[in-house]
Structure 1
């Protein structure tokens, strides 16, 4: 199973959508968003793509009530987990948290196969030795929203536990930007 790992979209739904569509074309079956979505409406662009989206909030959070409602809509692909999330996908234990220092700490516990974070908009692909002598992959995909850094995402293969950084195809985001997401936007 491949996953699209993103963070820090900061309301840039067009770059977020372009990243997820690119990851889908590369075989992604789910999206992990490590926070700083800001407005929950940003995630609506992902609804027609159809991949399950696991999202947490970060330090730039809009309406948490609206985010929770979006995540509890039975027709939604959005799964809102709050401050952090412990998931199991394809038999792998995955932890999502916004802050890198918490991610580093969680990666060393030995409780997780993969820990993903965001916040500082700096890409990090690292293998950490845990206190149990095992390894954990620590991933920060940078900023999918292109805030202070080029827009990037990481495609992770949970079978092989390999992770690859991709630039968001900005040309596609520009084309998509010409089409309104809804009649209210």
Structure 2
């Protein structure tokens, strides 16, 4: 099971809930689509035996330390990842979303920034914005769980 999160914005209360979800849902990979803000959130999502992929967001002020503390696993986006023959594109701001979606190159596209939940599927591609995991702007903290094998997406409120 994959966990897609974005826009955590240092909400430590929600990060504690996300950590419980990681333990409970047999998560094998965590994808963070940016706006961590500071490295304080990392211990809740960097877990031994669980893959981690991140991209920087526009509110990430401590990029050097985020990169260092993540073992250089947080990179500028858009970022292409290949896992188990799946082609994944991650980004924070969805500037290249339309082109990426139309390209047919990706099985999954994950993004953040807008704080709005997006879940749609084209002929080949599943596009997901998990919404904001912090809940600061919308009063609704959400994440996405994806079973990569059946490509089922579950948006979960935390």
Write out aligned runs for 1:61-72 (5 A): 61-72=60-71
Structure 1 runs (4+) deviating above 4 angstroms are none
TM-score computed with the length of structure 2 as normaliser:
0.89
Q: Which residue does 1:174 correspond to in 2? A: none
Task: Spell out, residue by residue over 1:121-150, the C-alpha distance to the aligned partner (whole angstroms, 9 max, x if none).
Answer: 100110124xxxxx2110000000112220
CA distance in 1, matches of 2:77, 2:156: 26
Matched, 1:119 2:108: no
Q: Which residue does 1:55 correspond to in 2? A: 54
CA distance in 1, matches of 2:49, 2:37: 21
Give 1:100 shift.
Answer: 2.7
Give 1:26 shift.
Answer: 2.0
SS of 2:73 mapped into structure 1: strand
Task: Spell out, residue by residue over 1:77-124, the C-alpha distance to the aligned partner (whole angstroms, 9 max, x if none).
Answer: x72122332111232111100123422321221111000001111001
Q: Residue 130 of structure 2: which of 117, 121, 141 is its match?
A: 141
Q: Residue 80 of structure 2: which of 79, 86, 106 is its match?
A: 86
Q: How many residues align?
A: 157
Decide whether aligned partners of structure 1 residues 120 and 65 sit closer, same or farther in structure 2, where only a CA change above 3 A counts. same
Matched, 1:152 2:142: yes
Give 1:46 shift.
Answer: 2.5
Give 1:20 shift.
Answer: 3.9
Write out aligned runs for 1:100-115 (5 A): 100-115=94-109
Give 1:15 shift.
Answer: 0.8
Give 1:63 shift.
Answer: 1.3
Q: Which residue does 2:156 correspond to in 1? A: 166
Give 1:13 shift.
Answer: 2.9
CA distance in 2, matches of 1:80, 1:40: 11
Task: Spell out, residue by residue over 1:140-183, the C-alpha distance to the aligned partner (whole angstroms, 9 max, x if none).
Answer: 00000112220000000111111111011xxxxxxxxxxxxxxx
Superposed CA RMSD: 1.8
Q: Which residue does 2:17 correspond to in 1? A: 18
Decide whether aligned partners of structure 1 residues 158 and 48 sit closer, same or farther in structure 2, where only a CA change above 3 A counts. closer
